[in-house]
Structure 1
Amino acid sequence: MNVPLWVWAATIGAMIAILVIDLAIVDHPWSKKKGPQEFGVKQAAWWAAFYIGIAILFGFGVWYYGGATAGAEYFAGFVTEKSLSVDNLFVFYLLMGSFAVPKKYQHEVLLVGIVIALIMRGIFIVLGAQVINAWSEVFYLFGAFLIYTGYKIVRDHVKGDEEQKDFTQTPVVRLVKRFWPVTQDYHGSHLTVKIEGRRHITPMLLVILAIGVIDLVFAVDSIPAIFGLTQDAYIVFTANAFALLGLRQLYFLLAGLMDRLAYISWGLSAIMVFIGVKMILHALHENGIHVFEISTGVSLTVILGVMAVTIVGSLVKSAADKRNEPPAVEEEGERDNAGDRS
């Protein structure tokens, strides 16, 4: 797509405006209750639906103005990035638990994380586009990296490495603690406080640093994946941005469902391997070797199919596990009390 500079500027400006309005509404500045409020499931569901809705409407706009190929590339990229973001939410969930972030401040932490992610991915997109234009053989490297990423996702899931990770002991956090004193408790949403005349860092700043590092790792995984579906920088950026914009609402919506998505890692692994193979085939074709190339339509169908099977399979397994759970055993005292009441 040949996208004018003013369209880029308008798109980025609209996304910034949405984030500002989102934050203003979430914080309820007109509410009688002052300060940040806890994010409810119902509120999260409405906002998640809103963000997915505008992402779909934007995709139809891309389809109308850019053609069927551009539209299919956008939807394939959006679904892939949204699927990756669901897996990323599990890591955010563990991070929040490691730092014991109060629930009423979690949406602020996630907002900062989203802004950092957008900036990092924007940088990666610019660099990735330049590298691809200068050296088409990079598709071999990206393809191999995605296949390895698919293997690593399953390996870590089977070994349970993510569940065992303590984010309070990451190298960046340890480095900060080495040079600055850190308070034991949160002081609202403040990043630093002065105690007895000395500046201290609060756990809130450590959480933001940790989430920034995680965003960097996620960008390394996700940007090669979407470049395997399209080389259009505008589609790459907007698909990433719309996948990230509703991320914090999706976090609160899925926080209680994390354990039910048992097969999400397997589905993401399959998608990573599929896109990796697609990139390698594309690189071979670009180098004059006649091989079968996977079309954008096929890519979109496979990605949607894999995620549908993954989600349905996870929910079926969760329901079966719940049915097979042994009935809860009442304590002897509770049974006696129940008998007395009768």
Structure 2
Amino acid sequence: MDVSFAVWAATVIGLCALIAVDFFVGRKPHEVSLREAGIWTIVWIVLAVIFGIGLFVFGGGQPAGEFFAGYITEKSLSVDNLFVFVLIMAKFAVPSIYQQRVLMIGVLIALVLRAGFIAAGAAIVSTFSWVFFIFGAFLIWTAWKLIQEARVENEEEAYEENRMLKMIERRFPSTDQYHGTKLFIRENGKRLMTPMLIVMLAIGTTDVLFALDSIPAIFGLTQDPFIVFTANAFALMGLRQLYFLIGGLLKKLVHLSYGLSIILGFIGVKLVLHALHEAGVHVPEISIPVSLGVICAVLVVTTVTSLYASKKQDRKQREEQTAPVGTPDARDDRGPLSKDDD
């Protein structure tokens, strides 16, 4: 898809305008209600759909299909990010009224950093076709790693700061108390960094680690930098509201990692087939409609099975809590107590 500089500029300006509206609407620190989160989640989804329809009208079915496949993939991978965001918020004890501001700035940092990843990825892909072998192998390995991690339950999992964040905390003096939404304060003549800035950096830089698998994944669906960037932008922009909307539902998506591993593995195979095709080997390639169908089907099945498994687990826990105690079977196999036993 040929995209002129004017279209690129208009798209970036339009996204910046939407971000500005979102920022000024929620600029006052407050606890985000389910109603507010729901409305804004729908708004961002509708905007993404409108953008995809625009691509269909002006570019045809191919770029539109690539955008929707990329958007859905990035959105589903972003939901997995929310688990880590919850851990970060807990570690830094972020007050609920400031969480929406933290997520807003953190997501903006992530979007800027991802834009750099996308630009570098587009340059490499356009120059070296063999890189698809590396991307494909990496996604298949990531899929296997996700399955292994999903099979190991770790209820006491904790967030670990990345090296860059640790270096910042060591070199820049900071305070352990929040001071509203201020990033820096002056105390006893010293300029101190607040936890607000640290947690924003934690959200933004941690997301870059997730980009290591999401960027190759979307390049497996499309090599168009414009579509890669816009799909990422729309997926990330609604992430803040989604955090508050499904925060309580995250624990119920127990099979999400399995679903994501299937999607990443599928795209990895697609990339390897594409690389073989580019190398002159006659192999079948997976079309975008098939990719879109597989991704949607996996997400639907994963969600349904997750909710069913969570419901079954909740019922089992309720039954254990209400089970009678002190019955003869619960004592031992020696039979009834005798006087000697007393």
TM-score by length of structure 1 reads 0.90
Q: What do the CA deviations read for 1:141-198 (whole angstroms, capped 9, x no partner)?
A: 000111111122222333346952333x543333233223321211111112111122
Q: Distance in 2 between matches of 1:238 and 1:202?
A: 33
Report the equivalent of 2:89: 96
The one-letter code sitting in structure 1 at the alignment partner of 2:241 is Q
Instruction: Check if 1:268 corresponds to 2:267.
Output: no
Give 1:281-296 correspondences, 5 Å limit. Answer: 281-296=273-288
The one-letter code sitting in structure 2 at the alignment partner of 1:120 is L
Q: Distance in 1 between matches of 2:156 and 2:178?
A: 24
Partner-residue secondary structure (3-state), 1:20: helix
Contact kept in structure 1, 2:175 and 2:192, CA below 8 Å: yes
Report the equivalent of 2:128: 135
Contact kept in structure 2, 1:94 and 1:163, CA below 8 Å: no
Contact kept in structure 1, 2:65 and 2:292, CA below 8 Å: yes
Instruction: Check if 1:165 corresponds to 2:166.
Output: no
Aligned equivalent of 1:258, options 250, 265, 285: 250
CA displacement at 1:212 relative to structure 2: 2.5
Q: Distance in 1 between matches of 2:239 and 2:308?
A: 25
Q: Distance in 2 between matches of 1:11 and 1:285?
A: 33
Q: Distance in 1 between matches of 2:169 and 2:11?
A: 39
May I ask how many residue pairs the two structures share in their alignment?
322
The one-letter code sitting in structure 2 at the alignment partner of 1:313 is T
CA displacement at 1:288 relative to structure 2: 0.7
Give 1:99-248 correspondences, 5 Å limit. Answer: 99-160=92-153, 164-167=157-160, 169-248=161-240
Instruction: Check if 1:15 corresponds to 2:15.
Output: yes
The one-letter code sitting in structure 2 at the alignment partner of 1:201 is M
The one-letter code sitting in structure 1 at the alignment partner of 2:174 is V
- Consecutive unaligned residues of structure 1, counting only runs of 5 or more, are 28-34, 330-342
Partner-residue secondary structure (3-state), 1:255: coil
Partner-residue secondary structure (3-state), 2:191: strand
Contact kept in structure 1, 2:176 and 2:194, CA below 8 Å: yes
Q: Distance in 1 between matches of 2:150 and 2:52?
A: 32
Q: Distance in 1 between matches of 2:215 and 2:257?
A: 18
Give 1:19-58 correspondences, 5 Å limit. Answer: 19-27=19-27, 35-58=28-51
Q: Distance in 1 between matches of 2:291 and 2:39?
A: 30
The one-letter code sitting in structure 1 at the alignment partner of 2:151 is V
Report the equivalent of 2:300: 308
Contact kept in structure 1, 2:29 and 2:100, CA below 8 Å: no
Aligned equivalent of 2:64, options 56, 64, 71: 71
Report the equivalent of 2:309: 317
Cα RMSD of the aligned pairs, angstroms, is 1.7
CA displacement at 1:66 relative to structure 2: 1.2
TM-score by length of structure 2 reads 0.90
Q: Distance in 2 between matches of 1:162 and 1:10?
A: 46
The structure number with the bigger radius of gyration is: 2
Partner-residue secondary structure (3-state), 1:187: coil
Q: Distance in 1 between matches of 2:154 and 2:294?
A: 28
Report the equivalent of 1:84: 77
Q: Distance in 1 between matches of 2:57 and 2:169?
A: 52
**302-311 vs 203-212, which moves further:** 203-212
Partner-residue secondary structure (3-state), 2:247: helix
- Consecutive unaligned residues of structure 2, counting only runs of 5 or more, are 323-342
